[in-house]
Chains A and B, each alone.
Chain A
């Protein structure tokens, strides 16, 4: 996993609540067996018209948001299916950070496993950042995970909080399977105890 330390870039405003994972990447594009290549179908139902041509009204089809690295949205972002293809599609498109008032649990987890940083900020702050984002290329936003601040284009710093363990893994680009493997003896002894107490689970 690529480490996430700090990022300065264009932020795309997506003023919607309940952006579900079927919107982020519709199921018909989930047939790939690799992790890459999903970016071209990110938000496909919004980005493309029925005939396959671009919908010029959708934010990611407009300059400078075609190169957006941050996405700002409203409540319950990433609800619905558990598909990790959602953060893969964001990442493949180039979006490495999503800012919203809150996130659905599984999507939130999935982001951390892929170096996409989900930042929770109160709704009024998101609305403010959304206004900043509308200023386009002249209004870059900085997301600094080290210091846990979002820096507005006017230099104002907005603090946010990330779970310490996740922050550590993200900052260092660490794979948590390797970490867990270090607990193998504890897992062994758990299994031995469980097998004695609940043998039907091992039948």
Chain B
């Protein structure tokens, strides 16, 4: 084929994975890596069993336990909650029966599925990656096409290593210039969702581009891609570059030597061609982004930390006004109140959005030599056993514990309110996770999303705080 039409990163990965195109345009898409966890798989394995089917490529499948487990020491003595224990035992039993590789709960590689995939070198550029979890978009930071699927689709991939998919539209969001002092990938993505809204990306795959994205480390890129789903898009991606290759070279299971060289040859052809078509384009100036915090109950309800609580009376659209009122009421806010005046009860640093070593370093840098405010429960939950080990080797756990933070075992923890780490009704949290929905962190809980550095600042201040006022006292 000569003079091929310029293609986007998404187009190239898509084209390379189409097994067949059905008459109505639906593609049978090949899946290179299927990650599984305990919550969204039991019914899929039941389906396989009932139909007498097996896993087509167990070696392209990897299971891990992350969602429902406690992050205290109870995993060493036996899971306390009987339903959680059954779900974990079911995954273990299914893994054994169907020959699926599974990272055991007490293995140091255990962790949140979206942390361990890249960290182990299993999530690689150019791959198609799926998992029964919406934040699978995280892996797009590697330059992969990665998206969340439901349990029926989990069963479909287990049985056939493929999925039936309609092509998505291409969107490019360019973040130009340098990120301002005190800001991170989290602030970029929150600002983007504030701009496009929770459904702004519907039907699209978003490619993030621009100097500010290029300048992010892999953890920052993962944070941005992770929250892409909160903007309604199917997936988020960043083209692979030297930062990506250097990261992969450090992973335990990534390709090495000649295999790596050969892979890189292909990976280098992946970035979007000049002149490729995007259905939607958006540009942001990085230096206009200030540290962000959400005030309402969806991630679009976000403001710079210097902002004030909106007044529903100022909203002209009737449905929007009612929604704003509902959010203000649920969150226990007063219109016009300064965000920095909101007292917090709990600070949660963790989740697949922000629990990597870079995130923990950012929090520790702010916390070092300071104290968590009285009455605030502050917890740091590393994304994986390997992150925990690395942080401990750097002494970050000690810095955080001395400042009054809890240092916990890896898992999803307080991100979703299905394990013992939960808010109680009315409690206000500053959280580095990705969803501030009503009841997400526990019934009646009130969640403010922000970056790890901002979360650390809130823990020290006892209220939402501007991290720019809390610069590191001493170097780490």
What residues on A are CB-neighbors of B425 within 8 Å? 50
Q: How far is the CA of A111 from the CA of B263 in the complex (A)?
A: 38
* A-B pair number, CB within 8 angstroms: 183
Is B438 in contact with A45, judged by CB distance below 8 angstroms? yes
With A26-B439, A105-B234, A106-B148 in contact, is A200–B259 under 8 Å at CB? yes
* Chain A 154-183 interface 0/1 with B at a Cβ cutoff of 8 Å (1 = within): 000000000111000000000111001101
Is B150 in contact with A106, judged by CB distance below 8 angstroms? yes
What residues on A are CB-neighbors of B153 within 8 Å? 109-110, 113
Is A82 in contact with B134, judged by CB distance below 8 angstroms? yes
Is B134 in contact with A50, judged by CB distance below 8 angstroms? no
A69 beta carbon closer than 8 Å to chain B? no
Report the stretch among A14-22, A55-63, A89-97, A136-144 that lies at the interface: A14-22
Is B440 in contact with A76, judged by CB distance below 8 angstroms? no
Is B435 in contact with A80, judged by CB distance below 8 angstroms? yes
What residues on B are CB-neighbors of A31 within 8 Å? 39, 68, 81, 83-84, 86-87, 418
B97 beta carbon closer than 8 Å to chain A? no
B43 beta carbon closer than 8 Å to chain A? yes
Is B40 in contact with A177, judged by CB distance below 8 angstroms? no
* Count of interface residues, chain A, beta-carbon cutoff 8 Å: 57
Looking at A27, A180, A191, the one whose CB has the most chain B CB atoms below 10 A away is A27
With A82-B150, A163-B24, A198-B263 in contact, is A30–B161 under 8 Å at CB? no
Is B134 in contact with A80, judged by CB distance below 8 angstroms? yes
Residue of A nearest to B45 (CB): A33
Is B162 in contact with A180, judged by CB distance below 8 angstroms? yes
Tell me the smallest distance from the CB of A164 to a CB of chain B, in Å: 5
Tell me the smallest distance from the CB of B357 to a CB of chain A, in Å: 25
A45 interface neighbour in B134, B203, B443, Cβ under 8 Å: B443
B149 interface neighbour in A23, A74, A82, A194, Cβ under 8 Å: A82
What residues on A are CB-neighbors of B438 within 8 Å? 22-23, 45
B285 beta carbon closer than 8 Å to chain A? no
A125 beta carbon closer than 8 Å to chain B? no
What residues on B are CB-neighbors of A190 within 8 Å? 19, 30
* Chain A 23-47 interface 0/1 with B at a Cβ cutoff of 8 Å (1 = within): 1001110111111000000000100
A194 interface neighbour in B30, B148, B155, B319, Cβ under 8 Å: B30
A84 beta carbon closer than 8 Å to chain B? yes
With A84-B40, A177-B159, A180-B162 in contact, is A102–B148 under 8 Å at CB? no
Q: Which of B4-31 contact A (CB under 8 A)?
A: 19-20, 22, 24, 26, 28, 30
B199 beta carbon closer than 8 Å to chain A? yes
Q: How far is the CA of A203 from the CA of B425 in the complex (A)?
A: 49
Looking at B43, B59, B126, the one whose CB has the most chain A CB atoms below 10 A away is B43
Is B26 in contact with A177, judged by CB distance below 8 angstroms? no
Q: How far is the CA of A32 from the CA of B66 in the complex (A)?
A: 16
Q: How far is the CA of A34 from the CA of B22 in the complex (A)?
A: 32
Residue of A nearest to B203 (CB): A105
Tell me the smallest distance from the CB of B426 to a CB of chain A, in Å: 10
* Chain A 104-138 interface 0/1 with B at a Cβ cutoff of 8 Å (1 = within): 11100110011000000000000000000000000
What residues on B are CB-neighbors of A183 within 8 Å? 19-20, 28, 160, 162
Is B87 in contact with A33, judged by CB distance below 8 angstroms? yes
A28 interface neighbour in B30, B232, B298, B417, Cβ under 8 Å: B417
What residues on A are CB-neighbors of B266 within 8 Å? 197-198
What residues on A are CB-neighbors of B287 within 8 Å? none
Q: How far is the CA of A136 from the CA of B90 in the complex (A)?
A: 43
What residues on A are CB-neighbors of B56 within 8 Å? 187
- Chain A to chain B contacts (Cβ below 8 Å), 29 pairs: A17-B319, A18-B298, A20-B298, A20-B435, A20-B437, A35-B43, A50-B425, A81-B133, A81-B435, A82-B133, A82-B134, A82-B149, A84-B40, A84-B43, A84-B150, A84-B151, A105-B203, A109-B153, A113-B153, A177-B160, A181-B160, A183-B162, A186-B19, A187-B30, A187-B56, A198-B266, A200-B263, A201-B127, A203-B259
Instruction: Spell out B's residues near A (CB within 8 Å).
Output: 19-20, 22, 24, 26, 28, 30, 32, 39-40, 42-43, 46-47, 51, 53, 56, 59-60, 68, 81, 83-84, 86-87, 90, 124, 126-127, 132-134, 136, 148-153, 155-156, 159-162, 164, 166, 198-199, 202-203, 232, 234, 255, 259-260, 262-263, 266, 298, 319, 323, 416-418, 422, 425, 435, 437-440, 443-444
Query: Given A80-B437, A198-B263, 20 more contacts at CB 8 Å?
Result: A22-B435, A22-B438, A27-B416, A27-B418, A28-B417, A28-B443, A31-B68, A31-B83, A33-B46, A76-B199, A83-B39, A83-B150, A84-B151, A113-B153, A180-B160, A180-B164, A187-B162, A191-B30, A200-B263, A201-B32
Which 6 A-B pairs give the minimum distances between C-beta atoms?
A113-B152, A33-B42, A110-B150, A27-B418, A31-B83, A84-B150
